[in-house]
Amino acid sequence: AVCGSRREPVLGSAAVQAATAMLLSAIRRGRIPREIVFAVAKGLYGRSKRCFKLASIRVMKELTFNYKMRHKLHGKMRTFWVVRMNSAAREYGLPYSRLIC
């Protein structure tokens, strides 16, 4: 099919499988599409928001950090919950471990 001055290849099943495998390997290696990198890097300082190489490094670090902090938050909330429940249970002469059992 012809689109403007560009020719688009006709994709057969083998070509589609190869493109899918290439995309998956890029994702496994941690390569994020350019548009997404610059969308995430929008609020960064200096060249990290304009230069693709620097932006991709900073974005990978930022996304990894955000993932860790989201999952760390659940543990903190659980600890906070246990502390509050323990202090409330001790007012009635009952430790938290006995309250839960």
Q: What is the DSSP string of 7-67?
A: EPPPP-HHHHHHHHHHHHHHHHTT---HHHHHHHGGG--GGGGT-HHHHHHHHHHHHHHHH
Q: Give SS3 for 101.
A: coil
pLDDT, one tens digit per residue, over 39-62 is: 888 888 899 889 998 998 888 888
Backbone angles phi, psi at 2, to 5 degrees: -110, 130
Mean pLDDT lowest among 8-17, 45-54, 70-79: 8-17
Q: What is the pLDDT, as a whole number, of residue 73?
A: 92
- pTM, two decimals, is 0.52
Computed from CA positions of residues 47, 52, 54, 55, in that sequence, does the dihedral angle turn out positive or negative? positive
Q: Give SS3 for 73.
A: helix
